[in-house]
Every structure is written in C-alpha cells, then in structure tokens.
Amino acid sequence: MTGKSVKKDGGEKKLADMESNIKDMESKAIEAEAKASEYLDAARRLQADFDNYRKRTEKEKEEFKRYAIADIAIEILTIADDLDRALSFAKQDSELASGVKAIQANLMKVLTSRGITEIEITERFDPNCHEALCVCEGDTDGEITEVFQKGYRMGDRILRYAKVKVTRIKEGE
C-alpha cells in the first residue's frame, strides 16, 4: 500500500505542479498580452505623431513657398509700375506702346498664375486694402478720386496697399 500511495501522492504532486505551471503560464500570457497591447498603443501614437509631423512640415513648406513668392513679387511689382508709367508717356498707337503692353500683359499673366491679383479700386475707401496719401474736399466722405499706385494681393494677404487720394466733406458744412 505504501508504494501505491507514494505513486498516488507523486501523481498528485505532478498534477498540482502542472496546474501551477498552467496558472503561471496563463498569468504570463495575460501579462504578455497587456504588454503587447501597450506596445501597439505606443506604436499607433508614434504613427499618428509622425503623420501629424509630416502634414505640418508640408504645410510649413507651402507657406514658406508662398511667402518667398510674395517677397519676389513685391519687388517685381515695381517693374509693373514702370511699365504703367512708360505706357502713360508713349503714344497709344505706336509700336513701342504695343510692345510695352505685350510685356506688361506677360508680366501680369505670370503674377496671376502665382495667385497675385490687382486690388480693385471701388468708389469707396477701404483701409483694409487702400492707403490714403492725401485728402481733398468733396461732397461725400471716403470717396476715392485718384489712384497714385495700384495695390496687389496674394490670396487674402495684401502685398502692397493701393495708394489713393480720398475725399472729405468740408468741415464747415
């Protein structure tokens, strides 16, 4: 009997050891699963951070490009002014005038292709896009009577304000 009980006790011990090993393995598997989930979350956050970084750098690159174009355009606008002055002094039906008009049209086409447009001059003064250089008396306040220099914008950004002469009602009236 003692031999049988030893075998029985040895088998129970092995069974208990196996159950203990299974429980240890299950807890280790649960821990490993939790770690894997943690690593997966970290990898997803890292991927999202990288995507945000990529989008931000692309946006910054586009902004830099726009501002670089704007800076060069501001300098080129003086050439457009010179062409306007040349046209004002040239005889309208001369070959010189038609040549200058063609050059001016090409320059404006290049500027327009880059999103640079002339600020339209309306009858009313708008401080958001006009700069009043002088004031003269008139029947109404804020009416534009003369344009000294054209203004230009690039999208919503003003590159150069239009320089204008504005009316003001006489103070005595």
Show the domains of the chain with their CATH numbers.
1-114 (3.90.20), 118-173 (2.30.22.10)
| pLDDT at 173 (0 to 100) | 53
C-beta separation of 163 from 131 below 8 A: yes
pLDDT tier for residue 92 given thresholds of 50, 70 and 90: confident
Q: In this predicted structure, what is the pLDDT of residue 4?
A: 47
Query: Helix-strand-coil percent breakdown of the chain, rounded to 5?
Result: 60, 20, 20
Angle (CA) 82-84-85 rounded to 5° is 65
* Mean pLDDT (the chain, rounded): 88
Q: Which residue has better confidence, 53 or 3?
A: 53
Quickly state the pLDDT bin for 9 (edges 50, 70, 90): low
For residue range 56-91, list pLDDT tens digits in order: 999 999 888 888 888 899 999 999 999 988 888 888
Confidence band (pLDDT; 50, 70, 90) for 3? very low
Region 139-163: what's the mean pLDDT?
91
Q: How confident is the model at residue 10 (pLDDT cuts 50, 70, 90)?
A: low
Residues of the chain with pLDDT > 90: what percent? 55
Contacts 24+ apart (CB under 8 A), 117-125: 117/152, 117/153, 117/154, 118/150, 118/151, 118/152, 119/150, 119/151, 119/152, 119/153, 119/158, 119/161, 119/162, 121/147, 121/162, 121/164, 125/164, 125/166
- What pLDDT score was predicted for residue 6? 44
- Across 84-109, average pLDDT: 89
Range list of β-strands (E), 32-161? 116-118, 130-138, 144-149, 152-154, 157-160
pLDDT value of position 150: 93
Residue 67's pLDDT is 83
Max CA separation in the chain (angstroms): 133
For the cut 70, the answer to whether the pLDDT of residue 48 exceeds it is yes
